[in-house]
């Protein structure tokens, strides 16, 4: 491959993925390497050095066969809210506390008391224990001596550059960055006892950070001197990689967990604290949230199984007799914030296929509830909807989700966050929306089938169960019922 390419690196939960992409969206090379972690009740850690080793392997594979002079720039996305402490040289002092680590519950209360006014201004009202700022306090309280904050992407970018680099505003959202003023809120952080020197400088996603150093070039295969561009969270990168960046468009990333991101011209405010808005590189807002439900429930409950065969059998169970709320880890973050939420399976008959179908449908019901909650907040939800993430490879699950949502879904040709990172790498000096329009192709559009309303009763049963357990706010539950009633009357939700 001699044509110019841009390299996108996606730091996921289960693997690192790298894509070399041309200006017209052709995949010139790809590579991946698995990651492992440690999960216990409320705890989820990974070794940052494993991230770097996986980056080196994935990039080497992606660039095999690509002419070195063809690589124009690189950008990295990472899981939202994943942080660690490093020493002055960037060496890890702690494990990486992952996006769904919830041990910082007490620290979250302190954070919400100190920053209540600012969090209200930024639209999300409250931080959750899994967010980065509570975890930063938790880490600082347990570590003595000099230490420096690094988001997951910061750690990799520093290794690529060979020197300290700024953090991007997208990854810094959950660490308390003031996204309107694009700065750290010194008064709030002072009140919490966070020293200013612990924090990296802030830049907007798409800003050049430096160039790949000789040491990084040797282990990754990325040519020395390749520009490094500030990335964003994996959910936001997937939004760019979906190519739908007009107001009212949404992208649903279904991987280990479910992440929903949209585009709005105005900041969305959520009095229930489940929706938060990133700042887009072009200045718009990217509202959404990350649920604790997702395909991770399938890999946990059906390890090593032939999922295509299970998909085929699940099609006979619409709707399933069982009703599932398939959490991957304890606690819910979106479309409602409930740290005490726990997954459940009601009405199970012992039929493995029905249980499997219930999990697929349960995730789709949560996805629908996300849109009902966003509509309650006044966010525009009627634009294009793209599906990305590992679950988008399941043709059956995509069709099921279109039926449950009652709306068409668009499948991009290359539904990966790494493609969005490549879009960012190609964006300096240009509008990201224009770059994405040229680099992202559509593979298929799936319309909801006839009789898709057959899922309404089960959906509303789940809504009622979540409300009865005290997790789902009553206004969201009522709005979900109102929108379902409109659909049953034949009017659009």
Tell me, yes or no, whether 288 lies in a domain.
Answer: yes
pLDDT at residue 451, rounded to an integer: 86
Rounded CA-CA distance 90/337 in Å is 34
pLDDT at residue 491, rounded to an integer: 62
pLDDT at residue 486, rounded to an integer: 87
Tell me, yes or no, whether 493 lies in a domain.
Answer: no
- Block means of pLDDT (10 residues each) for the chain, 493 residues, are 90 95 95 94 95 98 94 97 97 96 96 96 92 98 94 98 97 97 97 97 97 98 98 91 90 92 93 91 90 95 94 97 96 94 94 97 98 97 92 95 96 89 96 92 93 94 98 98 84 60
My answer on whether 272 and 414 are in the same domain is: yes
Asked which of 235, 261, 282 is the last residue of a domain, the reply is: 235
Compute how many other C-beta atoms are within 10 angstroms of the C-beta atom of residue 464.
14
Asked which of 201, 235, 269 is the last residue of a domain, the reply is: 235
**CATH of residue 252:** 3.30.420.40
Structural domain of 224: 5-235
Asked which of 235, 265, 290 is the last residue of a domain, the reply is: 235
Rounded CA-CA distance 344/248 in Å is 33
Q: How far is CA 24 from CA 4, 47, 215, 434, 437, in A?
A: 10, 36, 31, 12, 9
My answer on whether 22 and 170 are in the same domain is: yes
Q: Is 33 helix (H, G, I), strand (E, B) or coil?
A: strand
Angle of helix 474-488 relative to helix 456-468, nearest 10 degrees, comes to 170
My answer on whether 205 and 288 are in the same domain is: no
My answer on whether 126 and 220 are in the same domain is: yes
Classify residue 43 as exposed, middle or buried by CB count within 10 Å of its CB (0-12, 13-18, 19+).
middle
Domain tally, the chain? 2
Instruction: Provide the phi-psi class of 288: left if phi over 0, else alpha when psi is between -120 and 50, else beta.
Output: left
My answer on whether 226 and 273 are in the same domain is: no
Q: What is the pLDDT of residues 407-437, one digit of tens each?
A: 999 999 887 899 999 999 999 999 998 999 8
My answer on whether 205 and 60 are in the same domain is: yes
Do the Cβ atoms of 21 and 74 come closer than 8 Å?
A: no
- Angle formed at CA 436 by CA 446 and CA 18, multiple of 5 degrees: 90
The residues near 458 (Cβ < 8 Å, ≥ 6 apart) are 319, 320, 323, 361, 365
Rounded CA-CA distance 493/251 in Å is 18
My answer on whether 226 and 271 are in the same domain is: no
- Angle formed at CA 305 by CA 300 and CA 309, multiple of 5 degrees: 125
My answer on whether 376 and 448 are in the same domain is: yes
């Amino acid at each position: 491959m001699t044509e110019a390419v841009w390299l996108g690196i996606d730091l996921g939960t289960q693997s690192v993925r790298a894509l070399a992409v041309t200006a017209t969206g052709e995949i010139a090379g790809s590579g991946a390497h698995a990651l492992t972690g440690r999960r216990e009740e409320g705890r989820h850690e990974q070794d940052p050095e494993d991230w770097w080793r996986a980056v080196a392997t994935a990039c080497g594979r992606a660039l095999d066969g690509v002419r070195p002079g063809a690589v124009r720039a690189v950008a990295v996305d990472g899981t939202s809210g994943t942080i660690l402490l490093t020493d002055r040289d960037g060496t890890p002092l702690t494990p990486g506390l992952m996006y769904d680590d919830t041990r910082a519950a007490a620290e979250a209360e302190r954070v919400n008391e100190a920053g209540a006014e600012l969090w209200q201004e930024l639209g999300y009202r409250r931080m959750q224990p899994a967010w980065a700022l509570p975890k930063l306090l938790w880490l600082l309280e347990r570590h003595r001596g000099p230490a420096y904050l690094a988001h997951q992407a910061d750690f990799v970018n520093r290794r690529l550059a060979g020197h300290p680099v700024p953090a991007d505003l997208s990854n810094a959202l959950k660490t308390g960055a003031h996204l309107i003023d694009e700065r750290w809120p010194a008064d709030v952080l002072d009140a919490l006892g966070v020293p200013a020197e612990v924090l990296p400088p802030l830049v907007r996603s798409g800003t050049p950070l430096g160039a790949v150093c000789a040491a990084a070039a040797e282990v990754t295969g990325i040519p020395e001197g390749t520009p490094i561009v500030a990335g964003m969270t994996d959910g936001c990168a997937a939004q760019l990689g979906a190519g739908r960046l007009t107001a009212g468009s949404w992208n649903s990333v279904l991987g280990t967990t479910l992440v929903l991101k949209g585009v709005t011209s105005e900041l969305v405010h959520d009095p229930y604290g489940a929706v938060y808005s990133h700042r887009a590189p072009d200045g718009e807002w990217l509202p959404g949230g990350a649920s604790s439900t997702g395909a991770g429930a399938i890999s946990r409950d059906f390890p090593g199984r032939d999922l295509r065969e299970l998909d085929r059998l699940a099609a006979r169970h619409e709707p399933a007799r069982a009703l599932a709320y398939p959490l991957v880890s304890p606690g819910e973050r979106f479309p409602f914030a409930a740290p005490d939420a726990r997954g459940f399976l009601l009405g199970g008959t012992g039929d493995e296929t029905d249980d499997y179908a219930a999990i697929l449908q349960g995730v789709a019901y949560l996805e629908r509830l996300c849109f009902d909650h966003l509509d309650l907040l006044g966010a525009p939800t009627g634009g294009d909807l793209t599906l990305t993430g590992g679950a988008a490879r399941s043709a059956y699950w995509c069709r099921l989700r279109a039926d449950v949502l009652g709306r068409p879904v668009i499948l991009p040709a290359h539904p990966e966050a790494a493609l969005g990172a490549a879009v960012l790498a190609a964006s300096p000096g240009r509008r990201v929306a224009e770059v994405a329009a040229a680099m992202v192709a559509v593979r298929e559009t799936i319309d909801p089938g006839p009789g898709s309303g057959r899922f309404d009763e089960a959906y509303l049963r789940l809504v009622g169960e979540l409300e009865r357990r005290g997790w789902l706010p009553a206004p969201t539950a009522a709005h979900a019922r109102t929108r379902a009633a409109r659909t049953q009357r034949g009017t659009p939700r």
